[in-house]
A and B are shown apart, each in its own frame.
Chain A
Amino acid sequence: MTARVAKWPGVELSAADLLEGKVTQTRFRPDAKYAWSAGEAISRFLEELQAGRLIARTCHRCERILFPPRMFCEECFRPTDAWTYIRDTGTIETYSVSYLDTDAKRISEPILVGVVSLDGASPKMGMMHYFGEMTKDEIRIGMRVRAVWRPAEERKGSVLDIRYFRPLREGER
């Protein structure tokens, strides 16, 4: 059948056809604004970030320490049991060196970004964040890192209250 079809449907347009309006078209820019409720677990998580701490929830049944915190355990499908602070040090699980910003625009100074699993939480439990005080050639999976916090008066209760994670220094643990 694919060999028998003479012409496959579809009319291709060039970028100019579209962007310079060579075909009839309608333009629209939605303006949708939101306030996402943080809920029980993440409200507390944000409150603790503002205080310069990381907090997790424990599940007594599977004995995991869940981070980011949540009020129910997806493994056991039951409510989690207690709050517990974890450390602001951890290990780089993976990372990327990005030359793209959020809109896919090219940037010359790359962003170092990745996942940090945090000390005190169950293995692999972590968060996405930026890395700093290291170059793209120094960063590696398995690197030990620590959060660099914004000054208390600048914190707003956001993941951005941590500026980035930096390498653990000689003698630090």
Chain B
Amino acid sequence: MRKVGVIGAGMTIFRRRLQETGKEMCFEATRMALDSAGLSIGDVDMVVNGTAPDAFDGVHMKGEYLLDGCGGYRKPYTRVFTGGGTGVFSTIAGWWHVASGLADVVLVVNEEKMSSCQPHPQSVFAHIWDPILDRPLKPNLVWIFAMEMNRYMTVYGIKKEDIARVAVKNKRNAVGHPCAQLADANITVDDVLKSEVMAWPVQRLDISPPSDGASAVVLASDDFIRRRRIKDRAWISGVGWCIDSTMWTDRDLVFPEYVARAAKMAYGMAKVRDPRREIDFAEPYDPFDYKELHHLEGLLLAKKGEAPTLTREGVTQRDGDLPVCPSGGLMGVGNPIAATMGMKIGELFWQLTGQAGKRQIPHEVRTGVSQAWGDLMQYGCVVVMRA
């Protein structure tokens, strides 16, 4: 397999509502990624698009609809989809295009326009449940996360304030992010604990907001990077992905086994033997604050039930020993599902090349891991990147 590097990244601002169409958002992010890599569209061999359910944008065959904005016109082009996991998975798909030798330069473009869906994207989330076993109960999607969070809290005796610390950290980290939707320099644990109860134990400030946005990254072979003398690059050294049983009521919700399996695959490829010592920073998927903790454990960066302790002790702060979501994550920057690639893959690239500006981790970082989570709480994908 060939060595693959990330050489450019771009993203739109994330907001509850943007005027741009999906294609237009894709163009803006893609143009920025190409410009940052110093490439033109003619340099691009193939294009991968990542976008979550069609029902949010309200356009069927959304991949085809978005393709010209993604720069896919008259090129080999594929849409990939693994629910929320798309935020990291599309980069894995781009990686195999280049690693296999099939392409030298690949664009990966992710998009979501959730504001199209009225009155709230929640109404189409109803359609991801089993139509016969679950939907007659009129479920709200938040229920399933509330149930997972409750089980995680109960089994390990975790307090809500320990989880709220994640929301506070990420919303404060997002203050340095120019695209952030919900950055808040002054938020406190108390604010989170006093926010509206939506589906206990999930409160309003435990949840990332629905957003419109797009993001893009450019991947290239080491050969191309050397030939074009590209300085700003971060290498993809391991990838992994895994899915669990479709019967969610049969799974133990305490530990994301599928994330652990994906992480072991990626660490194996990247020759990471002791993740807690060898990974310098992490961008786990944080659509809810408890998910960052859950995923740190799945990524083997914390022992089972101990991620809250790391958070309480400040280890996961930007200047801590293991900075987690230095971008501000989904909790702070926003959650246009697939487009969260801007914080997961984009942030790894910007941190590893020293371009993160106000968000730059103050000490040197050489190895980062990002992870996304999707489908019905059952899918994990992991990318390890090195400077």
Contact = CB atoms under 8 A, between A and B. Distances in A.
A111 B48 CA distance: 42
Interface string A16-32: 01100001000010100
A11 B123 contact: no
A122 B143 CA distance: 24
Contacts of A68: 133, 247, 249
A12 B15 contact: yes
A27 B12 CA distance: 24
Contacts of B126: 102-103
A80 to B, nearest CB: 13
B257 to A, nearest CB: 12
B247 A97 contact: no
A38 B133 CA distance: 10
A127 B130 CA distance: 12
Contacts of A115: 147, 249, 253
Contacts of B212: 10
A14 interface: yes
A138 interface: no
A114 B147 CA distance: 7
B143 A98 contact: yes
A104 interface: yes
B213 A10 contact: yes
A46 B25 contact: no
Interface string A108-148: 00100111000000001111111000001000010000000
Given A13-B17, A99-B198, A34 B122 contact: no
B242 interface: no
B341 to A, nearest CB: 15
Contact of B150 (A1, A94, A136): A94
Interface residues of B, number: 67
Nearest to B12: A10
A1 B36 contact: yes
A55 B56 CA distance: 36
Contact of B28 (A9, A34, A38): A9
A97 B357 CA distance: 42
B146 A127 contact: no
Contacts, number: 176
B143 A96 contact: yes
Nearest to B154: A141
B197 interface: yes
Contacts of A17: 17, 19
Contact of B138 (A5, A38, A101, A127): A101
B191 interface: no
Contacts of B213: 10
Contacts of A126: 249-250
Interface in B27-45: 28-29, 32, 36
B286 interface: no
Interface in B217-265: 232, 245-247, 249-253
A88 interface: no
5 contacts: A1-B350, A10-B15, A10-B28, A30-B58, A160-B137
Interface of B: 9, 11-20, 25, 28-29, 32, 36, 58, 115, 119-120, 122-123, 126, 131-134, 136-140, 142-143, 146-148, 150-151, 154, 178-179, 196-202, 212-213, 232, 245-247, 249-253, 350, 353, 355-359
Interface of A: 1-5, 8-15, 17-18, 23, 28, 30, 34, 36, 38, 42, 46, 66-68, 70, 74, 93-104, 110, 113-115, 124-130, 136, 141, 158-160
Given A68-B249, A99-B198, A128-B249, 17 more contacts: A1-B9, A3-B355, A13-B115, A15-B16, A94-B147, A96-B146, A98-B140, A99-B196, A99-B199, A100-B199, A101-B140, A102-B140, A103-B119, A104-B120, A124-B250, A126-B249, A130-B137
